[in-house]
């Protein structure tokens, strides 16, 4: 029930500054103010639903918290605010096309089943420090607008970052890859977040086998974005075509309609 409620369409409330910009004593201002008040009230209800859901997820370490056991989460398409699942254990988890507003935390969490973040959007920083993914995980075309922190994250199976966009250096080389090497085709790292933030230049470093294949710069020399691809291997005479079975090209996440609710 909670997942179904959070999956319902929701319009993100305007900030007080955005409402004021409409101009006082106008019909548009009054309509926006009344509409925004309703949205703010519903956001509080949604935050309560998030807290109930989070508090009943089993802890990654031993805890006396009463949990709902090994249930899967399907929050595909949901709008979530300041989600904090730090130190929780999730089984099959679907966040396909989910929008994460504010800071999102998965620090020290354990994903004990398949995790899908395809086309998810993280408006604020996403913290995945020391997060453990025991099965396959996909961040296909996910957008980390303000960046991500992956230091100490452990991927025990396949991980797919194809076409993901990071608003700052995510520290891909600081994660631990115990299964397949990460799939990073078309990953883009930019110094500018889409909300207008500017980040001090940080020279990203990448897992073995990956390099920058396209780079754009501002006129003043600031790096604007980098796109990753595989190292090009020298062709071998008479060896026939080569394969990359260790890092297969990942496909788009399938629809999540069959995932557990």
Q: Are residues 47 and 108 in the same domain?
A: no
What is the average pLDDT value for the chain, to the nearest integer? 79
Q: Which of 162-176, 184-198, 236-250 has the lowest mean pLDDT?
A: 236-250
In a domain, 29, yes or no: yes
Higher pLDDT, 214 or 99: 99
Q: Are residues 145 and 229 in the same domain?
A: yes
CB 226: neighbour CB atoms within 10 A?
21
pLDDT in tens, 120-157: 999 999 999 999 999 999 999 999 998 899 999 999 99
Tokens of 235: 């062709």
Q: Are residues 182 and 221 in the same domain?
A: yes
Q: Are residues 128 and 210 in the same domain?
A: yes
In a domain, 242, yes or no: no
* Tally of domains in the chain: 2
Structural domain span for residue 14:
1-56
Torsion of CA 158, 164, 170, 175, to 10 degrees: 0
Where is the domain boundary, 11, 29, 56?
A: 56
Through-space distance between the first and last CA atoms of the chain, rounded to whole angstroms: 8
Q: Are residues 24 and 73 in the same domain?
A: no
CB 156: neighbour CB atoms within 10 A?
17
In a domain, 94, yes or no: yes
Q: Are residues 98 and 38 in the same domain?
A: no
Q: Are residues 49 and 158 in the same domain?
A: no
pTM for the full predicted model:
0.77
CA atoms in the 13 A half-sphere facing the CB of 92: 10
């Amino acid at each position: 029930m909670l997942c179904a409620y959070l999956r319902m369409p929701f319009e993100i409330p305007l900030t007080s500054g955005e409402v004021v910009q409409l101009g006082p004593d106008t019909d548009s201002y009054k309509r926006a103010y009344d509409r925004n008040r309703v949205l703010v009230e519903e956001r509080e209800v949604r935050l309560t639903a998030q807290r109930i859901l989070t508090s009943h997820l089993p802890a990654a370490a031993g805890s006396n918290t009463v949990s709902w056991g090994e249930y899967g989460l399907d929050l595909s398409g949901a709008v979530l605010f300041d989600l904090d699942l730090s130190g929780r254990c999730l089984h099959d988890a679907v966040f396909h096309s989910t929008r994460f507003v504010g800071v999102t935390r998965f620090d020290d969490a354990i994903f004990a089943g398949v995790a899908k973040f395809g086309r998810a959007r993280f408006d604020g920083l996403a913290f995945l420090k020391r997060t453990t993914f025991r099965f396959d995980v996909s961040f296909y075309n996910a957008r980390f607008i303000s960046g991500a922190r992956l230091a100490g994250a452990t991927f025990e199976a396949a991980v797919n970052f194809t076409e993901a966009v990071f608003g700052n250096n995510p520290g891909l080389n600081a994660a631990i890859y115990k299964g397949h090497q990460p799939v990073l085709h078309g990953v883009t790292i930019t110094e500018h977040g889409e909300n207008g933030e500017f980040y001090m230049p940080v020279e990203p470093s990448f897992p073995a086998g990956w390099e920058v294949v396209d780079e754009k710069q501002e006129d003043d020399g600031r790096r604007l974005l980098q796109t990753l691809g595989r190292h090009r291997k020298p062709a071998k005479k008479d060896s026939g075509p080569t394969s990359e079975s260790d890092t297969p090209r990942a496909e788009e996440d399938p629809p999540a309609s069959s995932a557990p609710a």
